[in-house]
Amino acid sequence: MQMTPIIAVHMTAALGALVTGPVALWSRMSRHKRPRLHRAFGYAWVTLMVLTAVSALFIRDFRLPNLAGYTPIHLLIPFTLGGLFFAFQRLLAGDIKRHRQIMQQTYAGACVVAGGFTLLPGRYLGDLVWKQWLGLL
């Protein structure tokens, strides 16, 4: 697999979401709540996550176990989009506690867990990091 424009968009959005998410989460958890910062980074994070999930639909890998080029990591796409949908649904209903929980779970699953899977040897980004950049494998 080579670096294609869609992979570049996907990686850029995913890395942006990985960095932006903690700011959105932290800005409402600190003692001095910062609603403007939370909203700005929250909307940026949601936008980046939608871009990441939608771009992932166009990335297929036929080398790994797959179904029409979709590997098990693609199961995180509906998890991500569903998490965002339900988080906003809870927000509109005034259930802030559940909104916070869903957003934290979505960040953990879509950014941390998915990011960990992409760094496994045999995946494009994993091979790029471990073999080409670090020369470890």
Q: Are 57 and 77 in contact (CB under 8 A)?
A: yes
In the chain, where does DSSP find H-type helix? 5-29, 35-56, 76-92, 96-107, 114-118, 124-127
Domain ranges for the chain: 5-57+71-133
How high is the pLDDT of residue 31?
67
How high is the pLDDT of residue 52?
96
Per residue in 30-45, pLDDT (tens digit) is 666 778 899 999 999 9
Whether this prediction's pTM lies above 0.75 is answered by yes
Nearest-CA neighbor of 126 among 11, 5, 6, 46? 11
Other CB atoms within a 10 A radius of the CB of residue 56 amount to 21
pLDDT per residue of the chain (137 residues) written in tens, 0 to 9 = 788 999 999 999 999 999 999 999 998 776 667 788 999 999 999 999 999 999 999 988 887 788 888 888 899 999 999 999 999 999 999 999 999 999 999 999 999 999 898 888 888 888 888 888 888 87
HSE (side-chain half, CA atoms, 13 Å) at 46: 15
Looking at residue 60, the DSSP 8-state letter turns out to be -
* Residue indicated by tokens 């409402």: 28
How high is the pLDDT of residue 135?
85
Q: Are 110 and 103 in contact (CB under 8 A)?
A: no
How high is the pLDDT of residue 20?
97
